[in-house]
């Protein structure tokens, strides 16, 4: 491991470059994983459709609205239902639909899910 020694002026210059770059959003994170807004909306509606067909409800025992909005735990009803489904298939119940959830789905669930997202 190399070590570098810099003075306070150089340290301030480097930090200033970082602040400038982030304020210009050069380091912007892609929260939609390359999906357009309409693709994300349809994808989320597909997840909601699937959970309703599986009869997975929110924490109040209600089915999900097909509104294309997922949100985050603990307040999002869709995320609550996702977490319940994740728990039922042995996935970390974080309320975020991703690779782990998709890969652990039983074959029958995958068929139903694909019908919902198409």
Q: How far apart are CA 56 and CA 4, in angstroms?
A: 55
* pLDDT digits 0-9 by tens, 37-96: 888 888 999 999 999 999 999 999 999 999 999 989 899 999 999 999 999 999 999 999
* pLDDT digits 0-9 by tens, 10-37: 878 877 776 665 554 444 444 556 778 8
Maximum pairwise Cα distance, the chain = 62
Run of H or E including 11: helix 8-23
Q: How far apart are CA 79 and CA 73, in angstroms?
A: 6
């Amino acid at each position: 491991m190399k070590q570098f020694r810099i003075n306070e002026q150089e340290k301030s210059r480097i930090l200033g470059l970082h602040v400038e770059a982030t304020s210009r959003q050069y380091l912007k994170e892609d929260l939609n994983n390359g999906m357009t807004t309409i693709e994300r909306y349809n994808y989320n509606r597909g997840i909601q459709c699937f959970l309703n067909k599986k009869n997975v409800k929110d924490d109040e025992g209600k089915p999900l609205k097909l509104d294309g909005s997922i949100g985050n735990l603990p307040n999002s009803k869709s995320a609550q239902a996702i977490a319940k489904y994740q728990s039922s298939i042995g996935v970390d119940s974080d309320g975020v639909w991703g690779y782990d959830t998709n890969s652990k789905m039983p074959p029958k669930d995958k068929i139903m899910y694909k019908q919902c997202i198409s």
